[in-house]
Each structure stands twice: as structure tokens, then as C-alpha cells.
Chain A
Amino acid sequence: QQQVKQSPQSLIVQKGGIPIINCAYENTAFDYFPWYQQFPGKGPALLIAIRPDVSEKKEGRFTISFNKSAKQFSLHIMDSQPGDSATYFCAAKANYGGSQGNLIFGKGTKLSVKP
């Protein structure tokens, strides 16, 4: 079974801080690495995604850094705000066999940004 390992489980930062969430994967049969954001009472929603041939992608205050050789990727949130408080999931999209449309999710990081 393919795995994506995510850390930390929870994170508390002050407003304006830069929380960093890390993920690692175990094989190379993935072709996209998206991040999802989930607010309480809602389903997860796509936040940002990166392909494995790109080392960094930035959208607004959110940046993904990708290290292909280390099989690791991370999410940075610049100038974090209380409204960013949510659970964040990293994921990897499978590109093999009968599971080509599937996502393998990390276990999630609960982020709390204090005012």
C-alpha cells in the first residue's frame, strides 16, 4: 500500500508566522502532489498542487516546495492569518494501473493561527 507521511499532526503559530507542513512519499508512481484545506464542518478543498518536475510553486501566500530526490514536499503559509486555521492534507495522485485517478492522502495537520 502506497503511503504519504505528513507531519506535524498539529501546529500552533502566531498571526504573521510561517507555518510549515511536511510530507514524504514512498515511491515514484505519482504524478501530482496537491494540498487540500478543510475547515470545520466542510469537505476538503484543493488549495494548491505541484508536478514532480517543478521545485517550487507559489499561489498567493501559499508555497509548495518539492524535493524529488528526497521524495519530500512541504507547504509554507506566509504571513499566516487566523482565517488560515484549518486542517491541511497533503496528497499524491497515483499514475499507475487501475488507480490512476486516485489520491493518497496524508493524515492531516491541524493548524491554529492565534491572533
Chain B
Amino acid sequence: DVKVTQSSRYLVKRTGEKVFLECVQDMDHENMFWYRQDPGLGLRLIYFSYDVKMKEKGDIPEGYSVSREKKERFSLILESASTNQTSMYLCASSFGTQAYEQYFGPGTRLTVT
């Protein structure tokens, strides 16, 4: 069974704090993705990575950065958290550029106060 795990299910941070969200997949997938999910807005792509040390901006990268030092791990960083970054964050992985199946983690509910 493919497994994508995220470091926390729930997280509460203060405005201005630096926040790290970790994602690990165990299927040797090349591709990894970070999305945020908000009611009525669906899944919006923040960043993606097709290989180690590679990263590309998605549709809403502002206020975020990422790191991929190992194939199985993809980190999302909020350099200075703001209240409008309160959201559900979902990590996903997939195998190759032909893959339409992405495997999602359970999500991290981040609240910034």
C-alpha cells in the first residue's frame, strides 16, 4: 500500500512564526506536490517537484517555499505565517509524468492566530 504521511494532523501557530510542514512517501515516487484546500476553492497547487532538489511554483506560491533534499521527503515552509494561510494542507505524490493518480496524505489543518 502506498503511504503518504504528513508530520502533523493539526497545528496552531502564531502570526510571524516560521512553519515547517513535512511530507514523506514510501513508494519511490518521482513527483511530489503541496496543495492547500479551502471551502469553495477546491485544491490549489502551491509547489511541486519532479525530482530531488528540483522545485517549481504552482498556482499560489506566494508566502511559501519548499525543500526536497531526499526523494521521499518534501517540506513546505511558511517563512512568516499569516492568518490568511490558515487552511488544510495536503501533500501528494505520483510516479512519473504520465501518472494521473496522485496519492494524498491525510492533510495538516493549520491555524494561524
Contacts and interface: CB of A to CB of B under 8 A. Distances in A.
Q: Indicate, yes or no, whether A interacts with B.
A: yes
A44 interface: yes
Interface string B100-112: 1111111100000
Interface residues of B, number: 29
Interface of A: 1, 6, 9, 32, 34, 41-46, 49, 89, 91, 93, 98-103, 105-108
Given A43-B90, A43-B92, A105 B104 contact: no
15 contacts: A6-B42, A43-B104, A44-B43, A44-B90, A46-B101, A46-B102, A93-B100, A98-B56, A101-B48, A101-B97, A102-B58, A103-B100, A103-B102, A105-B42, A108-B43
A107 B40 CA distance: 6
Interface of B: 4, 31, 33, 40-45, 48, 50, 56, 58-59, 90, 92, 94, 96-107
Contacts, number: 57
A41 B88 CA distance: 10
A66 to B, nearest CB: 14
A43 B100 contact: no
A89 B43 contact: yes
Nearest to B6: A43
Contact of A42 (B31, B44, B106): B106
A107 B59 contact: no
A89 B104 CA distance: 13
A107 B100 contact: no
B104 A49 contact: no
Nearest to A108: B42
B53 to A, nearest CB: 16
